[in-house]
Amino acid sequence: MGWPVHRPLRTIAVCAPATPLLREYADAVSALAAAEFPGIELHFHDQCFAEDGHFAGNDATRLAALLDCANDARFDAVWFAKGGYGSNRIAGDFLGKVGPDARKKAYLGYSDCGTLLGALYRAGVGKPVHAPMPVDIMRDGGSDAIRRVLAWFSGDDSGLEAGLTGAPAAAFNLYTLAMLVGTDLMPSLSGHEVLIEEVGEYEYAIDRLLFHVSQHLHDIAGLRLGEVSAVPENDRPFGATVEEIARYWCEKHAIAYLGRAAIGHSSANRIVPFGLEA
């Protein structure tokens, strides 16, 4: 039971609980790992490349692949290939079917896959870790994002978000967190430093999401604001920066605003193990 102290994780399963990965990205990640991290074996589940409408296979296909990865004793960690939307549709059923080996693993990803990280954390299954995903190899500087995770698998903690204080932490995409709060997948974040990031949302939408989320996070230790990127231009200026928006809602609900964080939808996205770092 529970997560052992961080040790090198050699055999990593990759699946796609939300949307499909292009095979060329999997190949590029595998090539980088083979060249630079020979101690690591990556196993991309074929489901990563499945397509069914919006999703990387229908719910049953994605759930089966996630269970293949989680319940197989050969794998030390499960790395989510890509976000996009869809992991919430299988998270509850997944937790109902995890076996004992699933509880020993780390689970890595972010964005939409934050729903799974949150659900795992709530259930006390394995070690959820906010981290770059294989799809990030496509970004400018994406190889460095991938190296950060491969190094972490190898036992190197230099890719951790630098502002982690030792207090328990959790990191989420803001919209993903807004959809998670109040549901049966939401963990208690009481006493946690909560890091949030966002991409592609208008400032008014960020304000609206923080209105919602801040009401649900009244007992956290504090909020840190990651990158907020690709904010669309609206027909008029909002009138406040995203940091001012975050400070506003924190102040309104007596949540400590703890400054910025190096997480986000970019290759600078750093690693945040949920809970205590060990």
Q: How far is the CB of 171 from its own copies (least distance, A)?
A: 19
Distance CA 68, CA 27 (A): 21
Q: Considering the rule CB under 8 A, would residue 238 count as an interface residue with its own copies?
A: yes
Q: Determine the interface stretch with its own copies among 119-127, 139-147, 206-214, 222-230 (rule: CB under 8 A).
A: 206-214
Q: Determine the interface stretch with its own copies among 118-126, 154-162, 175-183, 188-196 (rule: CB under 8 A).
A: 175-183
Q: Considering the rule CB under 8 A, would residue 179 count as an interface residue with its own copies?
A: yes
Distance CA 203, CA 57 (A): 33
Choice between 206 and 262, CB closer to its own copies: 206
Q: How far is the CB of 188 from its own copies (least distance, A)?
A: 14
Among 191, 234, 243, 256, binds its own copies (CB under 8 A): 234
Q: Considering the rule CB under 8 A, would residue 268 count as an interface residue with its own copies?
A: no
Helices (DSSP H) in 97-241: which residue ranges? 114-123, 142-153, 174-180, 203-216
Q: How many residues bind its own copies (CB under 8 A)?
A: 33
Distance CA 240, CA 245 (A): 6
Q: Considering the rule CB under 8 A, would residue 212 count as an interface residue with its own copies?
A: yes
Q: How far is the CB of 114 from its own copies (least distance, A)?
A: 12
Choice between 53 and 166, CB closer to its own copies: 53
Of residues 65 through 84, those in contact with its own copies by CB under 8 A are: 84
Choice between 6 and 253, CB closer to its own copies: 253
Closest CA to 197 of 170, 229, 149: 229
Closest CA to 171 of 197, 153, 190, 150: 197
The string of DSSP codes covering 225-255 is EEEEE-PPP-SS--SS-HHHHHHHHHHHTTP
Q: Considering the rule CB under 8 A, would residue 236 count as an interface residue with its own copies?
A: yes
| β-pair type (222-229, 193-199) | parallel
Q: Determine the interface stretch with its own copies among 51-59, 65-73, 98-106, 266-274 (rule: CB under 8 A).
A: 51-59
Distance CA 67, CA 144 (A): 29
Q: Considering the rule CB under 8 A, would residue 182 count as an interface residue with its own copies?
A: yes
Among 183, 231, 260, 268, binds its own copies (CB under 8 A): 183
Distance CA 228, CA 69 (A): 32
What 8-state DSSP symbol labels residue 256? P
Among 25, 55, 75, 121, binds its own copies (CB under 8 A): 55
Q: Check if the beta carbon of residue 193 is closer than 8 Å to that of residue 220.
A: yes
CB-neighbour burial class of residue 6 (10 A; exposed 0-12, middle 13-18, buried 19+):
middle
Q: Considering the rule CB under 8 A, would residue 204 count as an interface residue with its own copies?
A: yes
Q: Check if the beta carbon of residue 68 is closer than 8 Å to that of residue 38.
A: no
Residues near its own copies, by CB under 8 A: 51-55, 84-86, 88-89, 178-184, 203-205, 207-209, 211-212, 215-216, 234, 236-240
